[in-house]
Amino acid sequence: MHQEETNHHSTGYGTYILVWLALIALTSITVTVAGIDFGMVALAIAMLIAAIKSALVINIFMHIKYEEPIFKVFLLVSGFTIVVIFVLTFLDVVNR
Amino acid sequence: MANGTIAVSEKSFYEESTNKHSGILAWLLTTDHKRIGLMYLYTISGFFIVGVILGLLMRLELIAPGETIVSAQTYNTFFTLHGVIMIFLFIVPGLPAIFGNFFLPIQLGAKDVSFPRLNLLSWYVYMIGAVLVLVSLFLPGGPIDTGWTFYIPYSVRTGTNVSLAIFAAFVLGFSSILTGINFVTTVHRLRAPGMGFFRMPLFIWSIYSTAWIQIIATPIIGITILLVILERAFGVGIFDPALGGDPILYQHLFWIYSHPAVYIMILPAMGVVSEIIPTFARRTIFGYKAIAFSSLAIAFVGYLVWAHHMFTSGISDTARIIFSLLTFIVALPSGVKVFNWVATMYKGSIDPKPPLLWVMAFIVLFSIGGLTGLVVGSLATDIHLHDTYFVVAHFHYVMFGGTGTIFFAALYYWFPKMFGRMYNIKLANWGVGLFFVAFNMLYFPKFILGYMGMPRRYFDYLPEFTDLHVISTVGSWLMGITMIIVFGNIFYSAFKGPKAPRNPWGGVTLEWHTASPPPLENFHEIPTVTREPYDFSQLEEMNDESK
Ligand code: HEM
């Protein structure tokens, strides 16, 4: 039953192309920003853009937006793991 | 625990196939989790024996200072291959792929895993990875010589076949992930009626926690390996400082996977221990929930300690202190388990059969390994001991003394169920005893050597280290003989052993409620679970089941 419901939400090609264009636009912003000297902020900007891009890919291309809650739980678990790993690695990098 | 599994003398899974083929094809195309588990048993044991032979050769080289049987370069490739084979081909897949595959569905009361075909695919992916390792040995360039950790910058600069060998590790990682996904799904979806999470045997809890690590940690090594290959092939400066990269970043990424991987190795072993002790103490496990949750806690905290491998690599002081602290915290859930096991035996009616003897050896060896882990987990002592034989001794005690010992415990515990035959008990007892002596003779001198300053990964040494090296090498010969006895007993009995009853040890988890060897879909009727997993009051009823 749930299966059918999810199928109703199938996204049209239009959306896919829009998202694709958005991804390309964001990539070019990343590249441009990399050329300007923002210091430590540059990293934060790059991370932010990467986060937006992954959100788009995960939600639209990977259909998570339309899936059952359990998939979101799994995703959160992995997301949380990544955050922890980043924080611990940065404890090294920032204090070196 | 289970009602309604009536003994009907019918065909076992050896006589009935999931496909229409017969002979070897019936095995190669099988989707039966038990056959797949056995195929893993044969291949993984094969690689283990190759690894042992390499270990023996290294020990022979080290019997005297200077070049004895091989050159320095050959020694480099020996310890690398020994490490790669033992880690990626033996100890990481070992317990989950063999015993997890065979017993997880049976202990859950299921007919098979959730995705039987994916399960077969995992085996093929594993084999492809293994073949790639073999191919990398014979291509021009020569076998990989970086050590199993593939540290940058050497691994980018050496001319040996690094790219192919590490790509093999990448492929093996896929096999691991697929198995993990399969097991998590099976535990969530295929538990028999009445089998709540807290009625699952503890082996399942441990395989379940392991599966999560496999899924979440393995992709990191995959990406890291691809980055190294990119760097080698196109000179992209990611890790090599000469190209503007950061070699410490490599170590971070490598250990973010490889440290959780040591919990992939040890958790299933702890699960097996939690099965064997109740059976041979005839007593329900002490602290079921504490053990179950300590598995999850180990899986979680195990993620956060990776940089303790890097104390001398130049990471920041803040990071060193935090990672040292976190490392000490992992000792807590591990301690919870050891105390619960010992408490289970208290006032039990202990029956010292071979599986329990293996577990006893495990508790001693693993405790030595764990406690010396705290020595290298402390910042001050690690500066002295890092990259010495102390570390070599430490990780052989935890991996070989820990998981390796339990590999044999599991084999000797479940052998009658898997093969329907019994091995020679007396010889098995001798095997454990010899193993214990050989093991300590082989590895204990390495603690002292390391403390005295013998560096690891050297084919030569100062003359004052000779005596201890000789003791260790003689120990390795004794270990070789022990392995012949331990495997020989199993091999001979698989063909010629006397028929085993369905419940030779008096176990009560679901696998002992079905025939030895089990029928194709494990049970003639899906069991309904009405009891706690280690409720021994049902033993008498179970005796009637088999009549
Ligand atoms: C008869 C059994 C074994 C013997 C004689 C043996 C011996 C050795 C020796 C001599 C070394 C090299 C030390 C050095 O030069 O630094 C070594 C390294 C190693 N061994 Fe074993 N070993 C055995 C079993 C095992 C097992 C069962 C495992 C894993 C489960 C294992 C894992 C490793 C690893 C990971 C290394 C490090 C390789 C490297 O430095 O890259 N060994 N072993």
pLDDT reported for residue B129? 96
Query: Binning pLDDT at 50, 70 and 90, where does residue A10 land?
Result: low
Q: B443: closest CA among B409, B473, B407? A: B473
Q: Residue B82: CB within 6 Å of ligand 1?
A: yes
Q: How far is the CA of B58 from the centre of ligand 1 (A)?
A: 9
**Maximum average pLDDT range among A65-79, B4-18, B145-159:** B145-159
Answer whether A71 touches B (CB < 8 Å): no
Asked if residues B443 and B397 have their Cβ atoms less than 8 Å apart, the reply is yes
B55 within ligand 1 shell (Cβ under 6 A):
yes
In this structure, the residue with its CA closest to atom 34 of ligand 1 is B83
Q: What end-to-end distance do the CA atoms of chain B give, in Å?
A: 17
Mean pLDDT value across residues A11-39: 88
CB B206 within 8 A of CB B144: no
Q: Collect all residues of chain A within an 8 Å Cβ-Cβ radius of residue B248.
A: 92
Among A60, A80, A73, A64, which Cα is nearest to A18's? A60
* pLDDT given at position B546: 55
Across the strands, what pairs with B421?
Answer: B499
Calculate how close chain A gets to B63, using CA atoms only, in Å.
Answer: 41
Helix, strand, coil content of chain B in percent (nearest 5): 70, 0, 30
The whole-number average pLDDT for the span B48-53 is 97
Taking the model in full, what pTM does it have?
0.90
Q: What is the per-residue pLDDT for B2?
A: 43
- Judged against a pLDDT cut of 90, whether residue B178 lies above it is answered with yes
Query: Does B547 have pLDDT greater than 60?
Result: no
B248 touches chain A (CB under 8 A): yes
- Note the pLDDT of residue B1: 41
Of B363, B386, B361, B364, nearest to B375 (Cα)? B386
Measured between CA atoms, how close is A87 to chain B, in angstroms? 10
Higher pLDDT, B416 or A44: B416
In the prediction, which pLDDT does A69 show?
85
**Phi, psi (rounded to 5 degrees) for B314:** 100, 25
What is the structure's pLDDT at A40?
77
Q: Is the pLDDT of residue A3 over 80?
A: no
Judge: A95–B318 Cβ closer than 8 Å, yes or no.
yes
Counting residues of chain B whose pLDDT is more than 90, the rounded percentage is 78
Q: In chain A, whose CA is at the least distance from the CA of B256?
A: A85
Cβ-based neighbour number of residue B264 at 10 Å: 29
Paired tokens of B320: 């060193």
Preferred mutation among B185, B322, B324 to probe A, highest tally of A CBs within 10 A: B322
Q: What is the pLDDT of residues B397-452, one digit of tens each?
A: 999 999 999 999 999 999 999 999 999 999 999 999 999 999 999 999 999 999 99
Q: Quick check: A62 pLDDT over 90?
A: no
- The CA R_g of chain A, rounded to the nearest whole Å, is 17
User: What pLDDT does residue A4 have?
Assistant: 42
Q: Are residues A92 and B304, on separate chains, in Cβ contact within 8 Å? A: no
Average pLDDT of span B64-69: 94
Confidence of residue A6 (pLDDT cuts 50, 70, 90): very low
What pLDDT band is residue B264 in, cutting at 50, 70 and 90?
confident
If phi > 0 it is left, if psi is from -120 to 50 it is alpha, else beta; for residue B200 that is beta
Ranges of H-type helices in B200-246: 202-234
B304 touches chain A (CB under 8 A): yes
Euclidean distance between CA atoms B519 and B501, whole angstroms: 14
Residue A89 touches chain B, beta carbons under 8 Å:
yes
Report the pLDDT averaged over residues B51-80: 96
Residue A87 has pLDDT above 70, yes or no: yes
Question: What number does the ligand 1 atom closest to the CA of B403 have?
Answer: 30
Token output for B308: 């303790």
pLDDT band of residue A81 (cuts 50, 70, 90) is confident
CA torsion sign, B526 to B195 to B503 to B180?
A: positive
Is B216 near chain A, with CB under 8 Å? yes
Alpha-carbon gap, residue B455 to B466, rounded angstroms: 14
Tokens linked to B117: 């075909």
Beta bridge partners of B499: B421
Residue B331 has pLDDT above 80, yes or no: yes
**Chain B residue nearest residue A79, CA to CA:** B216
Mutate to test the interface with A, among B263, B315, B321 (most CBs of A within 10 A): B315
Contact in structure between B269 and B261 (CB atoms under 8 Å): no
Angle between helix B354-377 and helix B247-281 axes, rounded to 10 deg: 150
Size of chain B in residues = 547
Here the contacts of B145-150 (C-beta below 8 Å, separation 24 or greater) are: B145/B73, B145/B76, B145/B77, B145/B80, B146/B80, B147/B76, B147/B79, B147/B80, B147/B83, B147/B457, B148/B80, B148/B83, B148/B84, B148/B87, B148/B88, B149/B83, B149/B254, B149/B258, B150/B228, B150/B254
The closest of B448, B320, B447 to B379, measured between CA atoms, is B320
Q: How many residues does chain A have?
A: 96
Q: Report the C-alpha gap between A88 and B234 in whole angstroms.
A: 30
- B415 versus B531: the higher-pLDDT residue is B415
| Mean pLDDT of chain B, nearest integer | 92
Q: What is the pLDDT of residue B163?
A: 93
In which element (H, E) is residue B452 found? Answer: helix B425-452
Mean pLDDT value across residues B336-340: 89
Tell me, what's the pLDDT at B176? 95
Interchain contact B290–A (C-beta under 8 A): no
Q: Whose CA is nearest to atom 12 of ligand 1?
A: B79
Which pLDDT does position A2 carry in this prediction? 44
Q: Where are the alpha helices (DSSP H) in B352-424?
A: 354-377, 379-385, 389-395, 405-419
pLDDT at B17: 85
Residue B33 beta carbon below 6 angstroms from any ligand 1 atom: no
In 3-state terms, chain A is what percent helix, strand and coil (to 5)?
85, 0, 15
* pLDDT at residue A9, as a whole number: 58
pLDDT for the residue numbered B180:
96
- The per-residue pLDDT for range B457-509, each reduced to its tens digit, is 999 999 999 999 999 999 999 999 999 999 999 999 999 999 999 999 999 99
DSSP 8-state code for residue B2: E
In this structure, which amino acid lies at residue B429? N
Is residue B446 a contact partner of residue B389, using CB atoms and an 8 Å limit?
A: yes
What is the average pLDDT across B19-47? 93
Chain B CB within 8 Å of residue A91 CB = yes
The burial of B495, by beta-carbon neighbours within 10 Å (0-12 exposed, 13-18 middle, 19 or more buried), is given as exposed
User: Taking the mean position of all CA atoms in its chain, how far away is CA B70?
Assistant: 30
Residue B26 has pLDDT above 60, yes or no: yes
Domains assigned to chain B: 24-546 (1.20.210.10)
Instruction: In whole angstroms, give the CA distance from residue B71 to residue B84.
Output: 20
Q: What is the mean pLDDT of residues A78-90?
A: 87
Q: CB neighbours of B335 closer than 8 A, spacing ≥ 6? A: none
pLDDT per position as a tens digit, B119-176? 999 999 999 999 999 999 999 889 999 999 999 989 998 999 999 999 999 999 999 9
Note whether A73 contacts B: Cβ–Cβ < 8 A.
no
Average pLDDT over residues A71-85: 85
Helix axes B72-84, B33-61, angle to 10 degrees: 160
Which residues on chain A are in Cβ contact (under 8 Å) with B245?
A: none
Query: Helix or strand or coil: residue B196?
Result: coil
- Taking the centre of ligand 1 as the mean of its atom positions, its distance from the CA of residue B83, in whole angstroms, is 6
Across the range B352-380, mean pLDDT stands at: 94
pLDDT > 50? residue B4 = no
Contacts of B198 (CB under 8 A, 6+ apart): B288, B289, B292
Residue percentage of chain A with pLDDT more than 70? 89
Q: At how many degrees (to 10) do helices B466-496 and B405-419 cross?
A: 10
Contact B307 A94 (CB under 8 A): no
A53 C-alpha vs ligand 1 centroid, how far in Å? 44
Mean pLDDT (whole number) for B73-99: 95
B391 CA to centre of ligand 1 in angstroms: 11
- Does any ligand 1 atom lie closer than 6 A to the CB of residue B399? yes
What are B313's two structure tokens? Answer: 């690599």
Of B252, B314, B318, the CB nearest to A89: B252
Q: Does A78 touch chain B (CB under 8 A)?
A: yes
pLDDT above 70: percentage of residues in chain B = 98
